[in-house]
Amino acid sequence: MSQEDPSLALLLALLDQAYDHRSWHGPNLLGSLRGVSWKRALERPGPQRHCIWEIVLHCAYWKYVALRKLPPGMKRGSFLLKPANWPHLPAAPTPEDWEAAKACLHVYHESLRRRALALEPHDLQARAGEWSVWQTLSGVAAHDLYHAGQIQLLKKLTARV
């Protein structure tokens, strides 16, 4: 990344704040997961509603999608879990599976961040599928924050009184 380019620096700051850097708005995605046990991550606020664990895998998937679309592009592949957008959870989940789900999210985030660091200013307006690279990466940050808020709400809805 060109250190002098303010657009790239801003984009990286957005990704960082939404994922794991301190920010004024409250918990980011990683912060919203702090202290969530594997059992808590499985709790649902109601039938047919997503749990925190599913949201973590969903976020990992969309980071994978964005990563595939950024220049110079990647060979088409498939996400490691199925169905991709909202992967099924393990049949008999364990604490290790929960740690693996969070690690999956982190690996895709770090890969996306490294790819963003390698961008040049002219790359920001390039197409990444339907959207520009700028729109794609800022959208990943917005997606992280949306789901961070959702996780915070789920923690309140499933809290033991």
- Tens of pLDDT, residue by residue over 7-28, are 999 999 999 999 999 988 889 9
pLDDT digits (tens, 9 = 90+) for 58-68: 999 999 999 99
Query: In this structure, which amino acid lies at residue 108?
Result: Y
pLDDT of residue 94 exceeding 90, the answer is yes
pLDDT of residue 75 exceeding 90, the answer is no
pLDDT of amino acid 3: 54
Start-to-end CA distance of the chain, whole Å, equals 49
Computed over every residue of the chain, the mean pLDDT equals 92
List domains and CATH numbers for the chain: 6-157 (1.20.120.450)
Specify the pTM: 0.93
Residues in the chain: 161
